[in-house]
């Protein structure tokens, strides 16, 4: 079912922090396309530069579990209907069992994993009286000479796992905690696609046109300013470019810490329960209608 304008305004406001009327204008100017409206607000300098997937609205559990014997680690997210069930031991046991099946069977995708675990979900629904969903998982396999470290935050709201090319438990745990807190999108700048850079450059160019402070600036200066803003935008999303959370005194970036220790991150995974899921807020309708009539 298509979402109403009220629902879309609520989602857009949560993503951007923009006012109700600005969100309405953005949606109407972009045929009620959320992503285009998000960019439109940024181009106008109205929205904060948040990620489009930052909206958090779901119950469930994120888990990172390692099988030392088989050399596998799985990071998964399982959703349920209520916070009460999410905090219960029975649900936590279900997620643990799902992790074991995934590591043992190595399903190719979520649909295959759901087929393999259908009986577990059926039994859980009978026992707890709720609908459950395996939303996503990533299966990591560490080769010889590689080491996996993980971290669970807030009792399972965030789960992180990463692979290092050297054994360093203290660094591994610190990096996992950093990733949980700072939510990087990319490992290095090399992982940023050309399309993403082009898209952000366009947004910053349009934002510059709407910035009175930049009016009349020479073209060369504008290019440098825009380039600097694009670099800053992505630097905040790149793990190696982020100031290392566990060493705030030195101000060193993650990449510098790794270089000093001669360690490389092979891969990292971070799941936060409900990220990117939109949940309708029924009491929001009256607030919107009072302002957009």
Q: How confident is the model at residue 3 (pLDDT cuts 50, 70, 90)?
A: confident
Taking the C-alpha atoms of residue 51 and residue 93, their distance in angstroms, rounded to an integer, is 32
Is residue 148 left, alpha or beta, with left meaning phi > 0 and alpha meaning psi from -120 to 50? beta
Residues 244-263, buried b or exposed e (16+ Cβ, 10 A)?
beeeeeeeebbbbbbeeeeb
Q: Are 254 and 244 in contact (CB under 8 A)?
A: yes
- The dihedral built from the CA positions of residue 246, 247, 249 and 254, taken in this order, carries a sign that is negative
Q: What is the pLDDT of residue 48?
A: 64
Q: Are 178 and 83 in contact (CB under 8 A)?
A: no
Taking the C-alpha atoms of residue 133 and residue 77, their distance in angstroms, rounded to an integer, is 9
Q: How confident is the model at residue 279 (pLDDT cuts 50, 70, 90)?
A: low
Taking the C-alpha atoms of residue 198 and residue 270, their distance in angstroms, rounded to an integer, is 26
What does the pLDDT look like over 120-140, one tens digit per residue?
999 999 999 999 999 999 999
Q: Please name the residue that has the structure tokens 């916070």.
A: 83
Share of the chain above pLDDT 70, in %: 90
Task: Give the range among 91-105, 176-190, 208-222, 225-239 with minimum mean pLDDT.
Answer: 208-222
If you average pLDDT over residues 12-21, what whole number do you get? 86
Taking the C-alpha atoms of residue 269 and residue 255, their distance in angstroms, rounded to an integer, is 17
User: Which domains, and CATH codes, for the chain?
Assistant: 1-56+278-293 (1.10.8), 59-181+264-272 (3.30.479.20)
Q: What is the pLDDT of residue 47?
A: 76
Share of the chain above pLDDT 90, in %: 71
If you average pLDDT over residues 20-32, what whole number do you get? 94
If you average pLDDT over residues 18-24, what whole number do you get? 90
Q: Are 14 and 20 in contact (CB under 8 A)?
A: no
Residues 34-57, buried b or exposed e (16+ Cβ, 10 A)?
beebbbbbbbbebbeeeeeeebee
What does the pLDDT look like over 61-85, one tens digit per residue?
999 999 988 999 999 999 999 999 9
The pTM of the full predicted model, rounded to 2 decimals, is 0.76
Q: What is the pLDDT of residue 293?
A: 47
If you average pLDDT over residues 129-154, what whole number do you get? 95
Select the more confidently predicted residue: 14 or 158: 158
Spatial CA neighbour of 180 closest among 259, 79, 275: 275
What does the pLDDT look like over 201-238, one tens digit per residue?
999 988 888 888 888 888 889 889 999 999 999 989 99
Is the pLDDT assigned to residue 283 strictly greater than 60?
no
Q: Are 66 and 150 in contact (CB under 8 A)?
A: yes
- The dihedral built from the CA positions of residue 173, 142, 273 and 253, taken in this order, carries a sign that is positive
Taking the C-alpha atoms of residue 224 and residue 286, their distance in angstroms, rounded to an integer, is 45
């Amino acid at each position: 079912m298509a979402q109403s304008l009220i629902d879309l305004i609520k989602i857009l406001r949560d993503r951007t922090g923009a006012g109700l009327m600005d969100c309405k204008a953005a949606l109407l100017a972009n045929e009620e396309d959320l992503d285009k409206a998000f960019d439109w607000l940024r181009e106008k300098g109205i929205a904060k530069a948040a990620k489009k997937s930052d909206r958090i609205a779901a119950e469930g559990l994120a888990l990172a579990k390692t099988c030392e014997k088989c050399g596998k680690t799985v990071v998964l997210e399982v959703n349920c209907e209520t916070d009460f069930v999410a905090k219960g031991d029975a649900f936590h046991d279900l997620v643990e069992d799902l992790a074991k099946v995934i590591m043992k069977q190595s399903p190719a995708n979520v649909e295959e994993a759901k087929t393999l675990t259908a009986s577990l979900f059926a039994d859980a629904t009978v026992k707890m009286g709720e609908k459950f969903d395996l939303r996503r998982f990533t299966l990591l396999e560490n080769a010889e000479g590689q080491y996996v470290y993980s971290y669970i935050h807030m009792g399972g709201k965030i789960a992180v796992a990463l692979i290092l090319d050297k054994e360093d438990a203290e660094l591994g745990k610190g990096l996992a905690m950093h990733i949980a807190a700072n939510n990087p999108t990319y490992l290095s700048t090399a992982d940023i696609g050309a399309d993403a850079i082009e898209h952000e450059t366009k947004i910053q160019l349009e934002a510059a046109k709407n910035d009175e402070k930049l009016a009349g600036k020479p073209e060369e200066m504008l290019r440098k300013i825009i380039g600097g803003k694009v670099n800053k935008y992505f630097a905040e999303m790149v793990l190696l470019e982020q100031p290392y959370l566990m060493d705030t005194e030195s101000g060193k970036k993650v990449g510098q810490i790794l270089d000093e220790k001669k360690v490389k991150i092979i891969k990292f995974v971070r799941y936060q329960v409900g990220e990117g899921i939109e949940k309708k807020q029924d009491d929001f309708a009256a607030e919107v209608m009072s302002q957009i009539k």
